[in-house]
Copies of this chain bind each other. A is one copy, B any other.
Amino acid sequence: MTVTYTLSVSEARFWGFPRLLARWKGSIYRLMYREMIAFLFAYYLLAFFYRYLFNAELQRKFESIAHYCHGFTEVVPITFVLGFYVTFIVGRWWQQYCNIPWPDRLAIQISAYVQGADERGRMIRRSLIRYVNQISILTFQYTSTIIKARFPTLDHLVEAGIMTSDEKDVIENTETPHGIWWVPAQWFGQLAMVARKEGRIHDDLHLKSLIDEMLSFRGCCGNIWSYDWISVPLVYTQVVTIAVYSFFVSCLFGRQFLFQYPPGSNQSAAHEIDFYIPLFTIFQFFFYVGWLKVAEAMICPFGADDEDFEINWVIDRNLQVGYLIIDRMYRQLPKLTKDAFWD
Protein backbone atom coordinates (compact mmCIF):
# COMPACT_ATOMS: atom_id res chain seq x y z
CA MET A 1 0.00 0.00 0.00
CA THR A 2 1.56 3.21 -1.13
CA VAL A 3 1.57 6.30 1.04
CA THR A 4 1.28 9.42 -1.10
CA TYR A 5 1.77 12.63 0.79
CA THR A 6 3.81 14.90 -1.42
CA LEU A 7 0.98 17.15 -2.50
CA SER A 8 0.12 17.91 1.12
CA VAL A 9 3.56 19.46 1.56
CA SER A 10 3.69 20.99 -1.90
CA GLU A 11 4.26 24.37 -0.33
CA ALA A 12 6.92 24.85 2.31
CA ARG A 13 5.02 26.29 5.22
CA PHE A 14 5.33 26.69 8.93
CA TRP A 15 3.78 23.35 9.74
CA GLY A 16 5.04 21.57 6.63
CA PHE A 17 7.08 18.60 7.73
CA PRO A 18 6.17 18.67 11.43
CA ARG A 19 2.54 18.18 10.46
CA LEU A 20 3.52 14.93 8.79
CA LEU A 21 4.51 13.64 12.21
CA ALA A 22 0.83 13.39 13.08
CA ARG A 23 0.21 10.65 10.52
CA TRP A 24 -0.28 7.07 11.51
CA LYS A 25 -0.60 5.21 8.21
CA GLY A 26 2.83 4.47 6.84
CA SER A 27 4.39 6.23 9.78
CA ILE A 28 7.43 5.52 11.86
CA TYR A 29 5.25 4.87 14.90
CA ARG A 30 3.31 2.12 13.21
CA LEU A 31 6.53 0.62 11.94
CA MET A 32 8.34 0.50 15.28
CA TYR A 33 5.94 0.76 18.19
CA ARG A 34 6.62 -2.89 19.01
CA GLU A 35 10.34 -2.32 19.20
CA MET A 36 9.81 0.80 21.26
CA ILE A 37 7.60 -1.01 23.75
CA ALA A 38 10.09 -3.84 24.08
CA PHE A 39 12.94 -1.41 24.61
CA LEU A 40 11.11 0.63 27.24
CA PHE A 41 9.97 -2.49 29.03
CA ALA A 42 13.53 -3.74 29.30
CA TYR A 43 14.74 -0.30 30.33
CA TYR A 44 12.28 0.04 33.18
CA LEU A 45 12.76 -3.53 34.27
CA LEU A 46 16.46 -2.87 34.66
CA ALA A 47 15.77 0.40 36.47
CA PHE A 48 13.42 -1.40 38.84
CA PHE A 49 16.01 -4.04 39.66
CA TYR A 50 18.70 -1.44 40.15
CA ARG A 51 16.67 0.77 42.42
CA TYR A 52 14.56 -1.58 44.50
CA LEU A 53 16.01 -5.06 44.40
CA PHE A 54 19.75 -4.63 44.30
CA ASN A 55 21.80 -4.21 47.46
CA ALA A 56 24.50 -1.57 47.61
CA GLU A 57 27.22 -3.81 46.23
CA LEU A 58 25.17 -4.88 43.24
CA GLN A 59 24.26 -1.27 42.67
CA ARG A 60 27.96 -0.32 42.51
CA LYS A 61 28.54 -3.16 40.03
CA PHE A 62 25.61 -1.98 37.97
CA GLU A 63 26.99 1.54 37.98
CA SER A 64 30.32 0.26 36.70
CA ILE A 65 28.60 -1.56 33.88
CA ALA A 66 26.45 1.46 33.14
CA HIS A 67 29.49 3.69 32.96
CA TYR A 68 31.27 1.27 30.69
CA CYS A 69 28.23 1.01 28.41
CA HIS A 70 27.83 4.76 28.39
CA GLY A 71 31.32 5.08 27.01
CA PHE A 72 30.51 2.56 24.31
CA THR A 73 27.43 4.43 23.13
CA GLU A 74 29.71 7.29 22.20
CA VAL A 75 32.01 5.37 19.88
CA VAL A 76 29.57 3.21 17.91
CA PRO A 77 29.56 4.65 14.40
CA ILE A 78 26.00 3.72 13.52
CA THR A 79 25.26 6.99 11.79
CA PHE A 80 27.56 6.34 8.88
CA VAL A 81 26.91 2.66 8.61
CA LEU A 82 23.20 3.41 8.49
CA GLY A 83 23.69 6.30 6.09
CA PHE A 84 25.56 4.24 3.53
CA TYR A 85 23.33 1.21 3.98
CA VAL A 86 20.04 3.07 3.70
CA THR A 87 21.29 4.99 0.66
CA PHE A 88 22.06 1.63 -0.93
CA ILE A 89 18.65 0.16 -0.04
CA VAL A 90 16.75 3.23 -1.17
CA GLY A 91 18.60 3.14 -4.47
CA ARG A 92 17.57 -0.48 -5.06
CA TRP A 93 14.02 0.28 -3.95
CA TRP A 94 13.64 2.99 -6.58
CA GLN A 95 15.34 0.86 -9.22
CA GLN A 96 12.79 -1.84 -8.54
CA TYR A 97 9.97 0.62 -8.94
CA CYS A 98 11.44 1.77 -12.24
CA ASN A 99 11.48 -1.81 -13.44
CA ILE A 100 7.81 -2.48 -12.82
CA PRO A 101 6.69 -3.16 -16.39
CA TRP A 102 3.78 -1.26 -17.89
CA PRO A 103 2.32 -2.60 -21.15
CA ASP A 104 1.06 0.79 -22.39
CA ARG A 105 3.88 1.43 -24.86
CA LEU A 106 3.44 -2.02 -26.30
CA ALA A 107 -0.34 -1.77 -26.43
CA ILE A 108 -0.25 1.52 -28.32
CA GLN A 109 2.15 0.04 -30.85
CA ILE A 110 0.16 -3.17 -31.27
CA SER A 111 -2.91 -1.06 -31.81
CA ALA A 112 -1.12 0.98 -34.47
CA TYR A 113 0.88 -1.72 -36.26
CA VAL A 114 -1.25 -4.87 -36.16
CA GLN A 115 -4.04 -4.29 -38.67
CA GLY A 116 -7.35 -6.02 -39.18
CA ALA A 117 -10.70 -5.35 -37.55
CA ASP A 118 -11.90 -8.89 -38.22
CA GLU A 119 -12.13 -11.59 -35.59
CA ARG A 120 -8.69 -13.07 -36.25
CA GLY A 121 -7.15 -9.59 -36.08
CA ARG A 122 -8.74 -8.98 -32.70
CA MET A 123 -7.66 -12.41 -31.52
CA ILE A 124 -4.06 -11.78 -32.47
CA ARG A 125 -3.97 -8.39 -30.80
CA ARG A 126 -5.63 -9.71 -27.66
CA SER A 127 -3.27 -12.66 -27.51
CA LEU A 128 -0.20 -10.47 -27.90
CA ILE A 129 -1.20 -8.23 -25.01
CA ARG A 130 -2.24 -11.25 -22.93
CA TYR A 131 1.17 -12.83 -23.40
CA VAL A 132 2.78 -9.61 -22.25
CA ASN A 133 0.71 -9.44 -19.11
CA GLN A 134 1.44 -13.11 -18.45
CA ILE A 135 5.17 -12.41 -18.42
CA SER A 136 4.80 -9.86 -15.66
CA ILE A 137 2.31 -11.87 -13.62
CA LEU A 138 4.47 -15.00 -13.76
CA THR A 139 7.38 -12.85 -12.59
CA PHE A 140 5.49 -11.44 -9.65
CA GLN A 141 4.31 -14.93 -8.72
CA TYR A 142 7.92 -15.61 -7.82
CA THR A 143 8.93 -12.29 -6.34
CA SER A 144 5.91 -10.84 -4.58
CA THR A 145 4.34 -12.44 -1.53
CA ILE A 146 1.10 -10.69 -2.40
CA ILE A 147 0.77 -12.04 -5.92
CA LYS A 148 1.91 -15.46 -4.75
CA ALA A 149 -0.97 -15.42 -2.29
CA ARG A 150 -3.42 -14.31 -4.97
CA PHE A 151 -2.33 -16.73 -7.69
CA PRO A 152 -0.60 -19.68 -6.02
CA THR A 153 -0.66 -21.84 -9.18
CA LEU A 154 -1.11 -21.58 -12.92
CA ASP A 155 -4.64 -22.88 -12.48
CA HIS A 156 -5.54 -19.73 -10.62
CA LEU A 157 -4.38 -17.73 -13.63
CA VAL A 158 -6.59 -19.79 -15.88
CA GLU A 159 -9.52 -19.24 -13.56
CA ALA A 160 -8.89 -15.51 -13.49
CA GLY A 161 -8.99 -15.52 -17.28
CA ILE A 162 -5.38 -14.36 -17.57
CA MET A 163 -4.29 -17.57 -19.25
CA THR A 164 -6.13 -20.05 -21.45
CA SER A 165 -5.97 -23.66 -20.42
CA ASP A 166 -4.18 -24.42 -23.67
CA GLU A 167 -1.46 -21.97 -22.74
CA LYS A 168 -1.22 -23.50 -19.29
CA ASP A 169 -0.67 -26.90 -20.86
CA VAL A 170 2.13 -25.65 -23.07
CA ILE A 171 3.87 -24.03 -20.12
CA GLU A 172 3.54 -27.12 -18.00
CA ASN A 173 4.93 -29.25 -20.82
CA THR A 174 7.96 -27.03 -21.27
CA GLU A 175 10.90 -29.14 -20.20
CA THR A 176 13.05 -26.72 -18.27
CA PRO A 177 14.03 -26.80 -14.64
CA HIS A 178 14.96 -23.13 -14.79
CA GLY A 179 11.81 -21.07 -14.50
CA ILE A 180 9.14 -20.55 -17.16
CA TRP A 181 8.19 -16.93 -16.72
CA TRP A 182 9.80 -16.04 -20.07
CA VAL A 183 7.81 -18.56 -22.15
CA PRO A 184 5.07 -16.12 -23.24
CA ALA A 185 7.79 -13.82 -24.56
CA GLN A 186 8.73 -16.53 -27.04
CA TRP A 187 5.07 -16.94 -28.05
CA PHE A 188 4.87 -13.20 -28.62
CA GLY A 189 7.81 -13.33 -31.01
CA GLN A 190 6.35 -16.29 -32.93
CA LEU A 191 2.86 -14.81 -33.10
CA ALA A 192 4.20 -11.48 -34.30
CA MET A 193 6.07 -13.35 -37.05
CA VAL A 194 2.84 -15.10 -38.04
CA ALA A 195 1.03 -11.76 -38.18
CA ARG A 196 3.83 -10.38 -40.36
CA LYS A 197 3.53 -13.30 -42.76
CA GLU A 198 -0.23 -12.84 -42.95
CA GLY A 199 0.41 -9.22 -43.86
CA ARG A 200 -1.35 -7.87 -40.81
CA ILE A 201 1.90 -6.17 -39.88
CA HIS A 202 2.77 -4.17 -42.98
CA ASP A 203 6.48 -3.78 -42.58
CA ASP A 204 9.47 -5.58 -41.12
CA LEU A 205 10.23 -2.38 -39.28
CA HIS A 206 6.99 -2.58 -37.34
CA LEU A 207 7.64 -6.24 -36.57
CA LYS A 208 11.00 -5.23 -35.17
CA SER A 209 9.43 -2.40 -33.16
CA LEU A 210 7.00 -4.79 -31.52
CA ILE A 211 9.63 -7.41 -30.72
CA ASP A 212 12.08 -4.82 -29.38
CA GLU A 213 9.41 -3.31 -27.19
CA MET A 214 8.40 -6.72 -25.89
CA LEU A 215 12.03 -7.52 -25.12
CA SER A 216 12.29 -4.32 -23.07
CA PHE A 217 9.20 -5.36 -21.17
CA ARG A 218 10.71 -8.78 -20.62
CA GLY A 219 13.96 -7.11 -19.55
CA CYS A 220 12.13 -5.24 -16.80
CA CYS A 221 10.71 -8.52 -15.54
CA GLY A 222 14.16 -10.06 -15.66
CA ASN A 223 15.49 -7.20 -13.58
CA ILE A 224 12.80 -7.65 -10.97
CA TRP A 225 13.65 -11.29 -10.82
CA SER A 226 17.32 -10.34 -10.41
CA TYR A 227 16.65 -7.96 -7.53
CA ASP A 228 14.86 -10.80 -5.81
CA TRP A 229 17.48 -13.42 -6.54
CA ILE A 230 20.50 -11.30 -5.67
CA SER A 231 19.53 -9.77 -2.37
CA VAL A 232 21.52 -7.13 -0.58
CA PRO A 233 24.39 -9.25 0.75
CA LEU A 234 23.24 -10.84 3.97
CA VAL A 235 26.51 -9.93 5.65
CA TYR A 236 25.91 -6.24 5.04
CA THR A 237 22.45 -6.41 6.58
CA GLN A 238 23.80 -8.33 9.54
CA VAL A 239 26.59 -5.81 10.14
CA VAL A 240 24.10 -2.95 10.26
CA THR A 241 21.68 -4.86 12.45
CA ILE A 242 24.41 -5.76 14.93
CA ALA A 243 25.57 -2.15 15.04
CA VAL A 244 22.13 -0.75 15.78
CA TYR A 245 20.99 -3.38 18.23
CA SER A 246 24.27 -3.49 20.16
CA PHE A 247 23.98 0.29 20.46
CA PHE A 248 20.60 0.00 22.12
CA VAL A 249 21.59 -2.90 24.31
CA SER A 250 24.34 -0.72 25.67
CA CYS A 251 21.86 2.16 26.01
CA LEU A 252 19.72 -0.01 28.28
CA PHE A 253 22.52 0.17 30.80
CA GLY A 254 24.40 3.30 29.85
CA ARG A 255 21.46 5.65 29.79
CA GLN A 256 20.08 4.71 33.20
CA PHE A 257 20.01 7.55 35.72
CA LEU A 258 22.40 6.48 38.43
CA PHE A 259 22.53 7.18 42.14
CA GLN A 260 26.21 7.82 41.90
CA TYR A 261 28.94 7.55 39.33
CA PRO A 262 31.97 5.32 39.64
CA PRO A 263 34.95 7.20 41.03
CA GLY A 264 37.18 8.49 38.28
CA SER A 265 34.40 9.14 35.82
CA ASN A 266 34.11 12.80 35.09
CA GLN A 267 30.36 12.89 35.52
CA SER A 268 28.31 13.45 38.59
CA ALA A 269 24.83 12.45 39.60
CA ALA A 270 23.31 15.84 39.14
CA HIS A 271 20.51 14.86 36.81
CA GLU A 272 17.46 14.52 38.93
CA ILE A 273 14.81 15.99 36.74
CA ASP A 274 14.49 13.65 33.82
CA PHE A 275 14.51 10.76 36.16
CA TYR A 276 11.54 8.81 34.96
CA ILE A 277 11.63 9.23 31.22
CA PRO A 278 14.87 8.85 29.22
CA LEU A 279 13.55 11.34 26.73
CA PHE A 280 16.55 11.75 24.51
CA THR A 281 17.30 8.06 24.40
CA ILE A 282 13.76 7.64 23.13
CA PHE A 283 14.43 10.24 20.47
CA GLN A 284 17.61 8.43 19.47
CA PHE A 285 15.71 5.18 19.36
CA PHE A 286 13.25 6.88 17.04
CA PHE A 287 15.76 7.93 14.52
CA TYR A 288 18.27 5.10 14.61
CA VAL A 289 15.80 2.23 14.74
CA GLY A 290 13.47 4.26 12.54
CA TRP A 291 16.19 4.55 9.94
CA LEU A 292 16.86 0.83 10.09
CA LYS A 293 13.14 0.17 9.76
CA VAL A 294 13.10 2.34 6.63
CA ALA A 295 15.57 -0.13 5.19
CA GLU A 296 13.58 -3.11 6.43
CA ALA A 297 10.37 -1.82 4.88
CA MET A 298 12.05 -1.10 1.55
CA ILE A 299 14.29 -4.13 1.14
CA CYS A 300 11.41 -6.10 -0.36
CA PRO A 301 9.09 -3.58 -1.99
CA PHE A 302 6.64 -6.10 -3.39
CA GLY A 303 5.19 -7.17 -0.06
CA ALA A 304 2.40 -5.81 2.10
CA ASP A 305 4.21 -3.04 3.99
CA ASP A 306 2.83 0.45 4.00
CA GLU A 307 5.70 1.59 1.82
CA ASP A 308 5.41 -1.25 -0.67
CA PHE A 309 4.21 -0.86 -4.23
CA GLU A 310 0.62 -1.89 -4.85
CA ILE A 311 1.30 -4.74 -7.22
CA ASN A 312 -2.27 -5.97 -7.17
CA TRP A 313 -3.51 -2.64 -8.44
CA VAL A 314 -0.74 -2.59 -11.05
CA ILE A 315 -1.73 -5.97 -12.42
CA ASP A 316 -5.43 -5.20 -12.57
CA ARG A 317 -4.77 -1.88 -14.25
CA ASN A 318 -2.43 -3.40 -16.80
CA LEU A 319 -4.90 -6.12 -17.78
CA GLN A 320 -7.72 -3.68 -18.19
CA VAL A 321 -5.83 -0.87 -19.90
CA GLY A 322 -4.06 -3.31 -22.19
CA TYR A 323 -7.30 -4.73 -23.58
CA LEU A 324 -8.83 -1.27 -23.72
CA ILE A 325 -6.10 0.16 -25.91
CA ILE A 326 -5.72 -2.67 -28.37
CA ASP A 327 -9.38 -3.57 -28.65
CA ARG A 328 -11.97 -1.02 -27.61
CA MET A 329 -9.93 1.97 -28.73
CA TYR A 330 -8.62 0.38 -31.94
CA ARG A 331 -9.32 2.70 -34.87
CA GLN A 332 -11.35 4.99 -32.60
CA LEU A 333 -10.60 8.68 -32.87
CA PRO A 334 -12.42 11.80 -31.76
CA LYS A 335 -13.68 13.77 -34.72
CA LEU A 336 -10.98 15.87 -36.38
CA THR A 337 -12.07 19.50 -36.19
CA LYS A 338 -10.53 22.89 -36.41
CA ASP A 339 -9.27 23.72 -32.96
CA ALA A 340 -9.91 26.87 -30.99
CA PHE A 341 -6.79 28.64 -32.17
CA TRP A 342 -7.31 27.94 -35.87
CA ASP A 343 -7.00 31.30 -37.58
Contact = CB atoms under 8 A, between A and B. Distances in A.
Interface size band for A: 35 or more
Interface string A88-124: 1010001001100010110011011100000010011
21 contacts: A4-B229, A4-B230, A12-B293, A14-B38, A17-B240, A23-B234, A27-B234, A31-B235, A90-B233, A97-B226, A120-B336, A130-B339, A166-B335, A182-B321, A190-B330, A190-B333, A204-B206, A233-B294, A235-B293, A263-B270, A265-B270
A219 interface: yes
Contacts of A192: 112
A151 B260 CA distance: 68
Contact of A77 (B14, B79, B111, B323): B79
Contacts of A202: 204
A285 to B, nearest CB: 10
Copies in the complex: 5
B186 A329 contact: yes
A45 interface: no
Contacts of A321: 176, 178, 182
Contact of A302 (B10, B67, B262): B10
A87 to B, nearest CB: 6
A137 interface: no
What is the interface of chain A mostly: helix, strand, loop, or mixed? helix
A268 B267 CA distance: 13
Given A185-B108, A186-B108, A294 B235 contact: yes
A53 interface: no
A189 B238 contact: no
A187 to B, nearest CB: 6
A270 B67 contact: yes
Contact of A10 (B27, B178, B194, B300): B300
A17 B303 contact: no
A211 B109 contact: yes
Contacts of A111: 186, 189-190
A209 B208 contact: yes
A204 B242 CA distance: 59
A292 interface: yes
Interface in A277-330: 280, 283-284, 286-287, 290-300, 302-307, 309, 316-317, 320-321, 323-325, 328-330
B18 A241 contact: yes
Nearest to A66: B273
